[in-house]
Amino acid sequence: MKLFLDTAEIDEIEFAVSLGVVDGVTTNPSLIKQAVEKRRGLVDMEDYIIDILKVTPGPVSLEVISISYEKMVEEAITLYERFKKYGHPVIKIPVCSSLDGVNNVYDGLKTIRELSNRGIPINATLVMSPEQALLAAKAGAAYVSPFAGRIDDYLRDRLGMKRGIDYQKSDYYDFNLMKNIEDKLIDSVISLKDLNDLREVYMDDEVKRATSLLNDKGLHSGVELVRSIVTIFKNYGLKSEIIASSIRNARQVREMAEIGVDIATIPFYVLKEMLIHHKTIEGINDFVKDVVEPYKRIFQYR
């Protein structure tokens, strides 16, 4: 599995690349904003992006800022043509750019198709369902980015949990626990129904709510979202690479690797979390403490 760094912070990118573990970078307008604000707005944006491209050994995703087909095509061509000589830019296009679910619904797919036909590599972003991923791949996206962490947030939010109070952004979402809770919830609701009339049980509003509350159309987590997409792409030999995105913690990274996803894009703090283990630190302390003087003298000779 390849690892991309999800950041626009050049210092983080340079350091992670120096470790030899980073294969690419993904940015978005929110990450660009953070980098600009950190520098109090004193940024030559073009030079800054060039620096990111030069230091990154693989693809760098850069996102358009409009939502209409015409403008997204124009912006994507501008980004690609302006920066392609400095590295490997990939253009992020939202799979669906609608603000209201009514207008611009198909503009993302149209843009992906048009730009892919022009030979511009596209990262279909804000993918929240396997259905969206399938459409993006068929439209020609080189990369498809399902947002695992946002699906986990969505499911917790539906339970009335509040981020920052009941859970933090980096907290692991225990979807196996939630599945067990869901099974017990469904059993308890059905146990109160008249099982002699299965049609009524199936159509019952309480039963419907119990069976849909803890999942998003049958998906119980962002990990299951990515697993479903991996399965579909393998079934039909779809060539788009899958980037597990919106990764929030090291355990998610491991689970994505177990699924067999092509790429995981991670924030810088997750890279550190992947490396730290209390037993490793304990072992280092033991080894340092146990070094005997004769062994230490070996390293004093040249």
Q: What are the DSSP calls for 241-264, one per residue?
A: EEEEBS--SHHHHHHHHHHT-SEE
Closest to 275 (Cα-Cα) out of 266, 263, 288: 266
Contact (Cβ atoms closer than 8 angstroms) between residue 141 and residue 122 = yes
Please choose, from the candidates 73, 61, 31, the residue with its C-alpha nearest in 3D space to the C-alpha of residue 142.
61
Determine the average pLDDT of the residues in 33-44: 92
Residues in contact with 86: Cβ distance below 8 Å, sequence separation at least 6, in sequence order: 50, 53, 54
Check pLDDT > 70 for residue 53.
Answer: yes
Identify the band that residue 302 occupies on the pLDDT scale cut at 50, 70 and 90. Answer: low
**Among candidates 9, 52, 6, 18, which has minimal Cα distance to 264?**
6
Quote the CA–CA distance of 270 and 194 in Å, as a whole number.
50
pLDDT tens for 196-254 read 999 999 999 999 999 999 999 999 999 999 999 999 999 999 999 999 999 999 999 99
Whether 193 has a pLDDT exceeding 70, the answer reads yes
Tell me how far the alpha carbon of residue 22 is from its chain's centroid.
Answer: 15
Confidence of residue 143 (pLDDT cuts 50, 70, 90): very high
Q: Is 75 helix (H, G, I), strand (E, B) or coil?
A: helix
Catalytic residue ranges: 92
Q: What is this structure's pTM? A: 0.94
Local structure of residue 86 (DSSP, 8 states):
G
CA distance 91 to 42: 25
Nearest in space to 6 (alpha carbons), one of 63, 64, 51, 85: 63
List C-alpha distances in Å: 96 to 196, 208, 255: 45, 28, 27
pLDDT in tens, 77-119: 999 999 999 999 999 999 999 999 999 999 999 999 999 999 9
- Contacts of residue 64, Cβ cutoff 8 Å, sequence gap at least 6: 71, 72, 75, 76, 79, 91, 92, 93
Q: What radius of gyration, in Å, describes the C-alpha atoms of the chain? A: 23
Closest CA to 149 of 176, 173, 123, 132: 173
Give 300's pLDDT tier (boundaries 50, 70, 90).
Answer: confident
